[in-house]
Structure 1
């Protein structure tokens, strides 16, 4: 996990950079602020190492000539087209019932944003301090947007390891209607004999893979499935269409799309 990182900012945004520097430090990440003349494409090409930058739109991750943030404003078009009937994720998570939902594999938060738009009250859990801070900055920026502000009001961010958070929920008898899992590295456990080599991941995922190297079974989410089942009435796992089952556990139901599927695990009610 990254414990030290450079933080670039133009002069006009040094105060904002100092704020992020303090926030990251409180979360165990030391950042060194460097003032730059201009954050432009040329600058990023000449600084290929993994770093952060700050501008009027908040905090960004940058590397290899690219930069990215969880850009929720860019999702507005998709949100406006989405409906409970058109989105497979809505049927899988029963979003028409406005569930209390835990997204235990936050990523860039795009699925959480969609689910909140369609009615869910979402708890978004992320353990990586830099990714969490990126999500926090994006959440704050989105709260100022006229269209997004009512949606992000239904998203609560939690800085925690998902396994620890789910164990805490179970110990405190906190129930959720749905736990949603979308493991970061599903391609590693696919059947390589039947799956063609995937195309290079999008820019945002390339940078996330630099920030979040595969470092153990938690990245596959196997341990999370059993923990989620102890908390929620319904656990929904997003998988590539031909990926193996999470934790080798056959789901109770599936929704199949062209590129992905949603596996459902339902809570068994024991009669006394």
Structure 2
């Protein structure tokens, strides 16, 4: 895999560090220095690329750029309570469980769960997305509010299905596996909606980086693997989506737009 990286000259050392980290994951980074990375520059270079500027490391395409930006989540973290966050109640994060987030995304759910006390293993297999998460993690370590939260998060570069399978073969267990498949299948009987609100910029760029047609896991295999290692598996779904792997959950927490399906393994 080859990837273009636009960067401003003052961040050359950071780019060299990123280049080394990606090379270890089989990615050839092609750094190109530019005078200034502005909105106009991004519009004139719409191809998928990495960008390093005063905001840190970002993914860019179609005139937009995005990053996990964990520091931007501080407001939500401070406002969140056990009563307002279904995901916390579903995972029992306030009981400090060992938890694997097997569908890392931008890591925002893991950050919230860690805030409530969960010890999170954040697993991601795509080298570009993993490197973006690393950058967010490193920045968060220097933030006084986030530092004790991210201390409970471990980043793991691995295929989640392989990672869960290896844990099972080693007879290792965790309290919770959390799944939030990127491309949730919807109920075949659900009426098609009129044009939905535009997907958030972050998700638009993630969909370009991780296109569904390239075999991105819808989560069925992960659910099977998760059952073997977790006392509780929690799956985030759109409210009207079909059950993951067509398995009916043992319990549900229902919201207006989404739900959390829980599967309990009493044998572990």
TM-score range, shorter chain: over 0.9
TM-score calculated relative to the size of structure 1: 0.95
Q: For 1:60-114, what per-residue CA distance to the aligned partner results, in whole angstroms no more than 9, with x for missing partners?
A: 1001110000011110000000012221111100122110000000000000000
Number of corresponding residues: 267
**Which residue of structure 2 aligns with residue 196 of structure 1?**
193
Which of 257, 260, 264 aligns to 1:259? It is 257
TM-score normalised per structure 2:
0.96
In structure 1, how many angstroms separate the alpha carbons of the residues matched to 2:187 and 2:27? Answer: 33
Match of 1:208 in 2: 206
Q: Distance in 2 between matches of 1:190 and 1:139?
A: 36
Counterpart CA distance in 1 for 2:95 and 2:259 is: 21
Match runs of 1:167-206 below 5 Å: 167-186=165-184, 188-191=185-188, 193-197=190-194, 198-206=196-204
Partner of 2:128: 130
What is the SS of the residue equivalent to 2:212? coil
Conservation of the 8 A alpha-carbon contact between 1:162 and 1:224: yes
The offset of 1:189, in angstroms, is 3.9
Whether 2:63 is the aligned partner of 1:79: answer no
CA RMSD of aligned residues (A): 1.4
Aligned-pair CA distance for 1:218: 5.1
Query: 1:268 Cα shift?
Result: 3.3
Q: Which runs of 5+ in 2 are unaligned?
A: none
> Closer, same or farther in 2 for the Cα pair 1:268/1:217, shift >3 Å?
farther
Which residue number corresponds to residue 94 of structure 1?
Answer: 92
Match of 2:56 in 1: 58
The residue that corresponds to 1:34 in the other structure is 32
